Structure 1
Amino acid sequence: MISQFSKPGAHGFNQDACGYLKQDDKIIMAVADGHGHYLHFRSDIGSQLAVESAIQVFMDCTSDPKDLKQREQRIQQVWIDSVLSYHKDHMVSSFEWAKTRKYAPLYIDEKIPIEIAYGTTLLACVYFILENKLFVFRIGDGELYKVSTFRMEELLQKNDYGSEYITESLCEVPLVLKDNLDCLSFEKGLTSKDVLILATDGLSKFKNKKEIMYKIRKDVAGMNQLLSSLDNIDDLTVIAYRI
């Protein structure tokens, strides 16, 4: 059972994106959080392209670590190619240029690479159903949890970047994958009825986050109704998958 949910925060404009692809042998899940700053004036598009790029890259992957490592090295370039293709077909409007403020002339003079405008984080997971293996790729502050009957485990460290105010991005060149994010594979401890929860950082804004996640575990199918009733300040995007 899998459910996905995304809605904008108080500002009314959703910079997040999510998506999944379920196949016979695996399921690919991804969430992305566009930066939203006026420097990244098309980050809502960038986040959607990031999700699509992750699914495309891992669509025909195997659980071989070498295969996975090669594919994770391709994600950024696939995303950049998608960004450039989208940008070519969708001219920037005068309204969008106005949103960039002082950065407009720098973009127009090509002093800033256009992919910066689409800046986003990305958290992607590939769960190999028959092998009971989970591969994780993360750039930025996406969150991943395993929720069991009596325990909630955060599978990724809360802050891998040295400062809570720094968010790594797919638009950074060169993209440096840190060792603790490189080919993560949780091959033990995944049991039937456990629920994997992928989320953007909007979920962490709730003081009762733990209670919310236990409710999701209890009723994955009803997750959308639960989350839509919440008064979220930041964009809120969650994928829940019951193993």
Structure 2
Amino acid sequence: MSARWTAVSGSTIGSVHVRDDLPLQDAHLVRVEDGTTVIAVADGHGHHLHFRSDVGSRIAVRIAVDLLADALPRLTAVPAAEVVLAEVGAALVERWTAAVLDHLAAHPIDAESAELVEDHARLTQPYGTTLLAMVATGDVLGILQIGDGDAVVVTTDGVAARPLPEDPALDGTRTTSLCQPDPLDALRLAVLDAQGDHIALGYLCTDGFSAARVDANGWWRQTGAELVSYVRDRGLPWVEDRLPGWLEEPARIGGDDTTLALLVREDLTTDGDLRSSPTGTAWPRRG
């Protein structure tokens, strides 16, 4: 029997953005329908050169979820799904660019802001954002990404993996972006057989989540293992209730907006309402 999937997501504004009176730059969106799930997160750059990146990130997640939802009927097998995801990536760049230019036409920037645009042939610069998306339908799980952030899948045994290839352009300071001249050059894709690989869940997070972790190389493994344990033992409603609190710590300590979206096999979750379960160890732990 093919797997059925569900999802939750959340976001918390970073303490630095609160201090500087900036809006939340991250965006997230989830769509669950008849056991199929699409999740997306985006991290607007927040730099003064990208002064509308909060708008850019919201546009990005909406378009990504719409495109992946429309593609669901064609995501039936791993080899074919790779072609479909590549098509979605190309359409995403095209539609995001068009939507951003429509917003710019409807909301022209003033002369002072216009001086910040380094390349007037690249009018999407103020809207710069990353984008991560994950789709699960039956036994096919697909991931696409432009820019930084993490996409992680976790097996039923709690073993985590990051299946996307590394982006050599990411140096810890700068990120590839939907607003760069050639965003498709930064597109990374992966398609997995969820049944054959024993995948229990997948999660996406912006770099505000990872930057506050002491264990830079292992936090995502620990997070994956704990998520599987929590969902299995206490149920997804319990996880959903606690997600805002889990995001608050890295957003406060690291200062950046922090977002996480989680998709889960329905048969991993426990039956019944476990919202009253004891909290146990706080998650995610630092270090």
Provide TM-score, normalisation by structure 1.
0.82
Matched, 1:216 2:227: yes
In 2, Cα distance between the equivalents of 1:191 and 1:27?
17
In 2, Cα distance between the equivalents of 1:228 and 1:135?
25
SS, match of residue 74 in structure 1 = helix
Aligned 8 A contact 2:26 2:57 in 1: yes
Matched, 1:116 2:125: yes
In 2, Cα distance between the equivalents of 1:105 and 1:51?
28
Greater fraction helix: 2
In 1, Cα distance between the equivalents of 2:93 and 2:128?
11
Residue of structure 1 in register with 2:30 after alignment: 20
Q: Decide which of 144, 153, 167 is 1:146's aligned counterpart.
A: 153
Aligned 8 A contact 1:143 1:156 in 2: no
Q: 1:20 to 1:43 in 2, by over 3 A?
A: same
1:2, distance to aligned residue in structure 2 (A): 1.6
RMSD of equivalent CA atoms:
2.7
Q: Decide which of 84, 89, 102 is 1:67's aligned counterpart.
A: 84
Matched, 1:87 2:87: no
1:93, distance to aligned residue in structure 2 (A): 5.9
Aligned 8 A contact 1:143 1:158 in 2: no
Matched, 1:176 2:184: yes
Matched, 1:197 2:165: no
1:80, distance to aligned residue in structure 2 (A): 1.0
Aligned 8 A contact 1:28 1:124 in 2: yes
Q: Which amino acid aligns with 1:44?
A: D
User: Structure 1 stretch 13-22 or stretch 57-66: which is displaced more?
Assistant: 57-66
Residue of structure 1 in register with 2:263 after alignment: 241
SS, match of residue 230 in structure 1 = helix
Aligned 8 A contact 2:39 2:263 in 1: no
SS, match of residue 249 in structure 2 = coil
Residue of structure 1 in register with 2:14 after alignment: 9
Aligned identity (percent) is 27
User: Structure 1 stretch 36-45 or stretch 223-232: which is displaced more?
Assistant: 223-232
Aligned 8 A contact 1:32 1:122 in 2: yes
SS, match of residue 114 in structure 1 = coil
Structure 1 stretches lacking a partner, 5+ long: none
In 2, Cα distance between the equivalents of 1:20 and 1:82?
20
Provide TM-score, normalisation by structure 2.
0.70
Residue of structure 2 in register with 1:134 after alignment: 141
In 2, Cα distance between the equivalents of 1:198 and 1:213?
11
